Amino acid sequence: MSNLRQPLIETFQLKKEYETPSGALPILKGVDFEVFPEQLIYIVGRSGSGKSTLLHILGALDDASSGKVFFEGEEMGKMSEVELANFRNSKIGFVFQFYHLLPELTLFENVLLPSMIAGKSDKKWVKETLKRVRLWSRKDHYPSELSGGEQQRAGIARALVNKPSILFCDEPTGNLDEETAKTVFDLIQNLNKQYGQSAVIVTHDEDWAWKNSYVMRLHDGVLIRENRGEVHIEQPF
């Protein structure tokens, strides 16, 4: 196991606000957060609470209004645009509610694409990744020939293909029925247990989050650690 005392991601007083005609609208009001290697974290909260905003800031898809984010000890706010692009392409994998598969490409080609962009084109690893998500037998099918659950598993495979340190999953089952959603959650859970894949999952499905792991709630702009029967402000390990 990795040394869990060394955070993979760490934030300090992360704040985000948007300008509106009536003034500034605060979304995040001072988020202190840590993710450790091999950790699986679920973030829950009401719609509009800022869960996706937080995930996008952690993944360098959006900027915070103030505060700091560190990845493996390096402050992301001090990275150049080129460094941030390399970070997004090599260190993280994003899984979205909508699959964003290219319809003209086969499943294999869709999953291979990020590694081609990164200049790797590692077809052996694509095969291994598709086996991990139980889709190798569907490699030559096009997205239109795949079920919703298969398309989402393909999205997870694509996110994994560059061997990221962490997965960020933004409502990955939002478009799926309950049974199919369970297979996707099971897959992410198994990737964590079997391969030590770190992941932060934003979900509205609190029942599933409670069945599994480390749960945090984004409420009134701050992140709160929750356990059954108790709620407390998160403190470092």
Report mean pLDDT in 10-residue bins for the chain, 237 residues: 71 94 91 93 90 94 94 92 88 90 96 86 90 94 95 94 93 88 89 93 83 83 73 38
Task: Tell me which amino acid residue 95 is.
Answer: V
Tokens of 29: 């009001």
Please give the structure tokens belonging to residue 19.
Answer: 């300008």
Q: Residue 212: what pLDDT?
A: 64
**Distance separating alpha carbons of residues 153 and 142, to the nearest angstrom:** 14
Distance CA 91, CA 226 (A): 28
CATH superfamily of domain region 37-64+80-226: P-loop containing nucleotide triphosphate hydrolases (3.40.50.300)
Query: For residues 219 and 15, what is the distance between their CA atoms, to the nearest angstrom?
Result: 13
Longest dimension (CA), the chain: 54
- Tell me the helices (H) and strands (E) count for the chain, helix number first: 7, 11
